[in-house]
A and B are shown apart, each in its own frame.
Chain A
Amino acid sequence: MAESAVAQGTFGHAALFYRTEDDYVTPIAGFLREGLEAGEPAFVAVPAAKAALLREALGPDAGRVRFADMTAMGRNPAWIIPRVRAFVDEHSGRHVRYVGEPVWETRTAAELREATKHEALINLAFAGADADILCPYDTARLDPAVIAQAHQTHPELLCDGLREASAAYSGPLGLPSSCSSPLPCPPHDAMSFTYTTDLSEVRALVEKHARDAGLTDARAADLVLAVSEVAANTLRHARSPGTLSIWRDDDEIVCEIHDEGTITDPLAGRRRPAPDAAGGHGLWLVHQLCDLVELRSDSNGTTVRMHMALNPL
């Protein structure tokens, strides 16, 4: 296996597996310092408590690193790629370093699927970008299946200060099965409604259920717009009716749209469209408005599952 860091001017994406604070801080601070010494901009998005450890280790150098709390910035993992893209674009022409920790043990199963998918999409979104990305994984707390997926979504692993290729890497277009296989079935008591042309009716249903579930006016409106945008795609692109399903549990309300259309772009909704773009705003809005979005699409059809927490943080 090749040792040493990836040459400057190329894209790198490595997973770092840690068990202890020291396993965490030493390699990450080293990765950041190496960049700072070369004058490279650095961005760190990790849970706030972890950021505090890194700040302490970096001392005065921490002031030269941009920090974000990943539990806010990446609560919906689809929000992360646009933020990192903005950082890369802001420093266009320079090599940048990014430390991103989107996976932690208290995430729900759906969030873990999406965080893993996000990690896989990083390879596609930043292919050819002048960026080096390091993603820490807490092997003491995370499920071994999640760690196995990190081996698939990262072209490289950082072990004992050395980078090596990940033998299990699925390639820039590969997705671990958890984020490409069909979603778990909706509960049996989910409400189901078929629409052909009347989106107003779709919106009224979503609004009623969102209010019954106790969402605030603003968050109910967010969900209504998100569902309406996806249902509008049915009218535009699918040649058959669409189905809206709605259910909720103690934690969230979920709206799902299924139709026979196909979405081919794996990064749909994760690129900020130019304000004047003639398209692309719909799925961008859907991802921005919801707490979590799961999307599965193939030649048989498309399912978009939109989650809204009942008690958002």
Chain B
Amino acid sequence: MDLLTASVTARESAGEPYTLVELAGEADVTNSDSLRDVLDGEVAKQPHMMIIDLSALRFMDSSALHVILRANRVLDRQGGVLALARPREAVAKMLRLTAADQLIPVYSSVQEATAD
């Protein structure tokens, strides 16, 4: 996963644990399988909350979006919550145009995402 890197850390906010996934680079159809493996792996641990930090993601296409939507579906079924944080302008626009931002909350900071 050269074009795209994903780092996962277990965090805590006000005593509540959450999983932080930081994506960096470009997420497209050529690496969406790897992204799916990472997200599936984390979702399988049944976190209460998972936040994907998009601030270092320069590009995201609809294949990456589908992987994120899929993770959201599974997490939701498990009673967990997925949130997106700090998308760059182009990524934020794409989330708006697909209305994905109406399914998954989008925050301007990770801190804000944990506060809700």
Contact = CB atoms under 8 A, between A and B. Distances in A.
Interface string B74-90: 00000000000000011
A275 B61 contact: no
Size bracket, chain B contacts:
20 to 34
Given A199-B29, A199-B30, A275-B102, A232 B94 contact: no
Nearest to B69: A276
Contacts of A198: 30
B103 A276 contact: yes
Interface in B29-46: 29-30
A285 B62 contact: yes
Nearest to B104: A275
Given A200-B3, A225-B61, A281 B98 contact: yes
Contacts, number: 66
Interface string A252-276: 0000000000000000000011011
A123 interface: no
B98 A275 contact: yes
Given A224-B59, A229-B62, A200 B26 contact: yes
A225 B90 contact: yes
Contact of A228 (B61, B73, B98): B61
Given A228-B59, A229-B62, A275 B28 contact: no
B36 to A, nearest CB: 13
A287 to B, nearest CB: 10
A278 B59 contact: no
Contact of B30 (A224, A235, A278, A285): A235
Contact of B59 (A225, A279, A281): A225
A279 B98 CA distance: 11
A203 B61 CA distance: 11
B97 A232 contact: no
B66 A235 contact: no
A166 to B, nearest CB: 36
Nearest to B66: A278
Given A225-B94, A275-B103, A281 B65 contact: yes
A188 interface: no
A114 B98 CA distance: 23
Interface in A203-251: 203, 217-218, 221-222, 224-225, 228-229, 232, 235-236
A285 B102 contact: no
A273 B62 CA distance: 12
Nearest to A233: B29
A71 interface: no
B5 interface: no
Contact of A203 (B26, B65, B73): B26
A139 interface: no
Given A199-B30, A200-B26, A218-B89, A275 B99 contact: yes
A198 B106 CA distance: 29
A199 B28 contact: yes
Contact of A281 (B3, B26, B66, B93): B66
Given A218-B89, A276-B73, 10 more contacts: A218-B93, A221-B93, A225-B94, A228-B61, A232-B62, A275-B100, A278-B66, A285-B97, A285-B98, A289-B97
Interface of B: 3, 26, 28-30, 59, 61-63, 65-66, 69, 73, 89-90, 93-94, 97-100, 102-103
9 contacts: A200-B26, A203-B59, A221-B89, A222-B90, A225-B59, A232-B61, A276-B103, A282-B62, A285-B62
